[in-house]
Structure 1
């Protein structure tokens, strides 16, 4: 009996110990096995291979599959559970508060960081940095006839299959390899990323449509508000005018009655005065304020509604913009305060006479890049625009300059059209025109009248490039300052071309067919304001003689120049400052010691690159103001110390006085940039004094050099 009691007591103690351990762990054994199995799957995605394959319990069939893979309790647990937040995991609905150092509080218990527990069946929670993340286990559907839910479990199992039965679904399903589990996780991740990208794309499209719609509504609202404000102002002005007229009538009426009242008896005057006072009081009560219209005046009719702007147009202050709005005609706009209209990039073909009747105060009109033809422009189309100052019609199909242009016009651009004639009356009234651009047409000295440009008394900027001129146009206005004639077929410059253009400052004649012997000696030598000439890409073999005395800027790039004659710059005052001779055929035989005479004290930039020079030309050291020198892409093999900087003798052979003189000479140099790349220079053989006058050695470009 005593032995039996001891045995029962021992069994009771074992049962209590087992019960306490189950409560402490918080997770049934079967569920822990399931977590270890899921942990092995998740660990494979992090390149962590478990020591053994997951075990499958064969005594009973458990069909349990988690909604998302779980992981082992290792160093990667935080990252995996963080990823569950955006997937099937969700935050716990239990009373959980973050603790210190990443601890969590759940149901009155403190959980350490990375602790895992199961508050309810089929729910597994994780403490991650003070935040609780829970995952709910989902169950697979079973095909067996009879199922049951074991005690402490959350998913049903088949009860009609014997242990180790071959028909067990878990046994029939082959074990997944590590590679298969990695592939499944990768596919799930790609599907999630694809869905997220699609959602973001739809959101962006929806946002763009909403922004576009809001912008259109705002423009429309601003336009309507502007119109309403104008209507309100006009209505108030009309009311004030009528009130003033009413007051005048009332005063006249009172004066007339006063005159009549002097003739009536005193009693009748008193009676009439009292009646008038009563009438005025009643009238005041009826009117309410002085601005309300009396019943004897008609109520003003509100102005007609202004048609809305076409789709694609916008209004800002005093500008209406309809750029690339697919318009086929000029929109009907009525706004006397409008000063700028932009119609660039449409398919407008004509301008009727009444096109601008509603906007007579325009100052700027852009009709570029349309299909406007000369027959499509009405004879009175621009006549109403008395204040128009800028007219742009580039890129159309005009063959003549539009008629009846406003005399206030200051800027006219008709580039890239089909103009093939300018009569003497085409620009007759444009006395205020300052800028005229007619590039890219079919103009020549044969179809441009010598009197066509004479009426332009204020013209200072003229562009006639990309036409078919063989000579400089005649009849240039005396006010001209800048003349651009590039990309024509000009072959000569006669003595009378610039006789009446004493104010001209810039002449551009690049990409023509000029030779130095076809430039008349007196063509421009006496010009006092001509400072810049561009003769690039012509047929010059020598630097032209008889250049203007006032010339500062000479561009001769891309010719076939072989020689710079001596003293060719000697007559210039104050002297040439910029000389560009790149891409020619200059060699050392073509440059004399006196080739740069007259420019030694004034020349600031000298470009001799892409020529055939074999050594640095003489005279560089005499150029006191030179700051930029290009000698790259020649055939130079060496740079003696005295060719760019004055010669420097060794300190042992020079006394103190001579050293002082050399230092002063070096200080006088202004050379800041020197290009010598792409020659045949052996940089290791250069003298240390070759570039001593240059302020910074980083400004000397020597690399790369050509191979000998």
Structure 2
């Protein structure tokens, strides 16, 4: 024991922290405390190397910033300039955050960065810069100059920066003349470059070959010079949406060298056909909002691994998707075709397709074999077409044994479709012309969790006995905006959310919800209820009830929630 005590008395203790070897702590008198670390007024300094002056409405650069500061945040203030003498003495800075101030190019002198030889991250987004700094430190890794008024950058703004990885210049006023050909020379590690929302008219040449993500959306690009993307073999994401690209701006070599490309967005342009020479690595191809009238299989032969093809809001008509046009896409998972002029479900779709999105077309009929080629379909959206019950074959949906979501809203159906797959989870039939509900079409849907029947012409007497009997998993039922005069009886026991707003309900009896003990939310607004229309015991036993919405009725409705709840119903006074 004595030996242990002697070792404790003689042990010199841990070595001093870096930078503290010459500190005066050993010379302090007994009971003295080390002097507090200097920190600018109102700022916080959680560590010796960190100064946080964020959101203080500062108009003047704070003084008394420690020379030891490595991370300085001045974002969300009112600074208009940075004094050279104050900034230059902070030679150890690694992070400088000036986001969201009022700094102009005149207020950000180039000399200010000469001594910041260790700076790695600079954030000057949302200021008033008109030109980029002519010189930024060689040590830089991330530069954010987005959302300024920059019209010009210089060769050493981002050039000769071997560690630079991310450059953000979006939401500025850059034209091609303001972007020198050698803007990124000597910066061979840049992986992310954002030039979106500028005024570029053609794809900039001499882009870094190291790029993995390139954002050029929301420009005026109408031309891609030949070879402009020939060296970007590591590029994985390319965003060119919202430009002025036509077919003549692209050729078979435009994208062919991009051997790592996975995501290509060409939406909101003026293309009339699918581009040629697409790389085989492509996973997502976005061509929505163009002028495409026809899709040819030859243009898709090289992208057999494509998983998502988006062709919404084009001009695809009767002959837009010929049989076999999509057959090369054997791994296609999702196909978006909404907002075209298709009059039928495209034939010979890829067998592995899981999601077919076809709303806002002109499909008026479904034959027995129209969907047989896609037995693995899990989501089918045919909303807002021209389907009528008489032209939907009773076996149209039978091949879709994997179907989980079926959207038929906004058509002209008068009857529930028959032959629905037993595994269906969501069925949407709102905004049709349904006048009757019978139990047969819903029989066997024991996994259905959501049923949308809003905006039809249903009356309680038109709902056949036993209609809800087999819907054992139904949690959400929307019967809003129909012609119901009271709450339908024998609703599913698992029900948690019931929409009855916009009907003609004038009374809610004490037994209305006996079959739905798990009800959590009840919507009764815009009916014909008066102050005492809801029976006092109507909600007894509904221990989970949290919301009862009765706003928009002729009178304020008296609602009595179960005693255990003590909750305030939406739209009502406590």
Paired residues for 1:54-65 under 5 Å: none
* Map of 2:160 onto structure 1: 228
Aligned counterparts of 2:103 and 2:245: Cα–Cα separation in 1 = 38
CA distance in 2, matches of 1:219, 1:682: 74
Cα-to-partner distance string for 1:517-569 (whole Å, 9 max, x where unaligned): 21112211242210111111110112222222221100111111111123221
Aligned to 1:308: 183
CA distance in 2, matches of 1:527, 1:435: 20
Q: Does 1:593 align with 2:465?
A: yes
Q: Aligned partners of 2:306 and 2:135: how far apart in 1?
A: 35
Q: Alpha carbons of 1:383 and 1:580: their partners in 2 closer, same or farther (altered >3 Å)?
A: same
CA shift for structure 1 position 463: 0.3
Give the 3 Å change call, closer, same or farther, for CA 517–707 of structure 1 in structure 2.
Answer: farther
Match for residue 628 of structure 1 among 497, 504, 518 = 497
| Number of the residue aligned with 2:537 | 689
1:7 corresponds to which residue?
none
Find the counterpart in structure 2 of residue 612 from structure 1: 483
1:675 CA displacement: 1.4
Deviation sequence 1:383-441 (CA, Å, 0-9, x none): 11111111100111100111111001111001100001111212111111111101110
Match of 1:677 in 2: 525
TM-superposed deviation, 1:687? 2.4
Q: Equivalent of 1:579, from 440, 451, 454?
A: 451
Map 1:413-432 onto structure 2 (within 5 A).
413-432=286-305
Conserved in 2, the CA contact under 8 Å of 1:451 and 1:475? yes
Q: 1:317-332 counterparts in 2 under 5 A?
A: 317-332=190-205
- Separation in 2 of the partners of 1:219 and 1:596? 72
CA distance in 1, matches of 2:374, 2:238: 31
Could you list the per-position Cα deviations for residues 599-628 of structure 1 after superposition, in whole angstroms to 9, with x for gaps in the alignment? 1x22111111111111111212xx221111
Are the equivalent residues in 1 in contact too, given 2:184–2:207 (CA < 8 A)?
no
Task: After TM superposition, give the deviation of residue 208 of structure 1 in Å.
Answer: 4.5
Contact 2:385/2:410 (<8 A) preserved? yes
Aligned counterpart, 1:216: 132
Which whole-Å deviations, capped at 9, do the CAs of 1:152-196 have from their partners, x for residues lacking one? Answer: xxxxxxxxxxxxxxxxxxxxxxxxxxxxxxxxxxxxxxxxxxxxx
Report if aligned partners of 1:671, 1:693 keep a CA contact under 8 Å in 2: no
Where does the alignment leave 5 or more consecutive residues of structure 2 unmatched? 1-77, 82-99, 108-126, 144-155, 165-179, 557-574
Which whole-Å CA distance do the structure 1 matches of 2:256 and 2:533 have between them? 76
- Cα deviation 1:24-54 (Å, max 9, x = unaligned): xxxxxxxxxxxxxxxxxxxxxxxxxxxxxxx
Q: Distance in 2 between matches of 1:220 and 1:382?
A: 33
Query: What is the CA-CA distance between 1:445 and the residue it aligns to?
Result: 3.4
Q: Cα gap change, 1:219/1:617 in structure 2, threshold over 3 Å: closer, same or farther? A: farther
* CA distance in structure 2 between the aligned counterparts of 1:469 and 1:322, rounded to whole angstroms: 36
Instruction: Indicate if the aligned counterparts of 2:135 and 2:157 stay in contact, CA closer than 8 A.
Output: no
Out of 549, 552, 567, the position equivalent to 1:704 is: 552
Per-residue deviation, 1:457: 1.3
Deviation at 1:444, TM superposition (A): 2.3
Does the C-alpha gap of structure 1 residues 544 and 212 become closer, same or farther in structure 2, counting only changes over 3 Å?
Answer: same
Distance in 2, matches of 1:346 and 1:394, equals 13
User: Which region of structure 1 is more displaced relative to structure 2, 220-229 or 526-535?
Assistant: 220-229
Distance apart, 1:219 and its partner CA: 8.6
Compute the displacement of 1:316 (Å): 9.5
In the aligned structure 1, how far is the partner of 2:289 from the partner of 2:387? 25
Change (3 A) 1:316 1:569: farther
Q: How far off its partner does 1:352 sit? A: 3.2
Does structure 2 retain, via aligned residues, the 8 Å contact 1:568–1:596? Answer: no
For the residues of structure 2 that align with 1:553 and 1:633, how far apart are their CA atoms?
22
* Structure 2 residue aligned with 1:353: 226
1:333 to 190, 193, 206: 206
Identify the residue that residue 176 of structure 2 maps to in structure 1: none
Shift in Å, 1:201: 11
For residues 357-408 of structure 1, the C-alpha deviation after alignment (integer angstroms, 9 at most, x for no partner) is 2323211111111111102212211111111111100111100111111001
The verdict on how the C-alpha distance between 1:205 and 1:669 changes in structure 2, with shifts beyond 3 A counting, is closer
CA shift for structure 1 position 456: 0.5
| Matched residue, 1:535 | 408
Give the match's secondary structure for 1:483.
Answer: strand
Contact kept in structure 1, 2:280 and 2:305, CA below 8 Å: yes
SS in 1 for 2:309: strand
Match of 1:248 in 2: none
Inter-partner Cα distance in structure 2 for 1:324 and 1:356 = 20
Q: Does 1:389 align with 2:262?
A: yes
Deviates more, 1:408-417 or 1:360-369: 360-369
1:426/1:452 contact within 8 Å kept: no
Larger radius of gyration: 1
For 1:118-153, what per-residue CA distance to the aligned partner results, in whole angstroms no more than 9, with x for missing partners? xxxxxxxxxxxxxxxxxxxxxxxxxxxxxxxxxxxx
TM-score by length of 2: 0.66
What is the match of residue 17 of structure 1?
none
- What's the TM-score once normalised by structure 1's chain length? 0.54
Q: Hey, what's the Cα distance between the residues in 2 that align with 1:508 and 1:428?
A: 27
Q: 1:562/1:676 Cα in 2 relative to 1: closer, same or farther (>3 Å)?
A: same
2:394–2:417 contact (8 Å) kept in structure 1: no
In 2, distance between residues paired with 1:563 and 1:464?
Answer: 31
Aligned pairs, how many? 409
Structure with more helix by fraction = 1
In structure 2, what is the Cα distance between the partners aligned to 1:399 and 1:685? 60
- Structure 1 gaps of 5+ residues are 1-199, 233-304, 647-667
> Residues 685, 509 of structure 1: CA spacing in aligned structure 2 closer, same or farther, 3 A cutoff?
closer
Match of 1:458 among 331, 336, 340: 331
Q: Does 1:499 align with 2:372?
A: yes
Distance 2:161 2:550 in 1: 69
Note the alpha carbon deviations across 1:327-371, whole angstroms, 9 max, x for none: 111111242211111111111112233111232321111111111
Find the residue that maps to 1:391 and give its secondary structure.
strand
Contact 1:351 1:378 in 2 (8 A): no
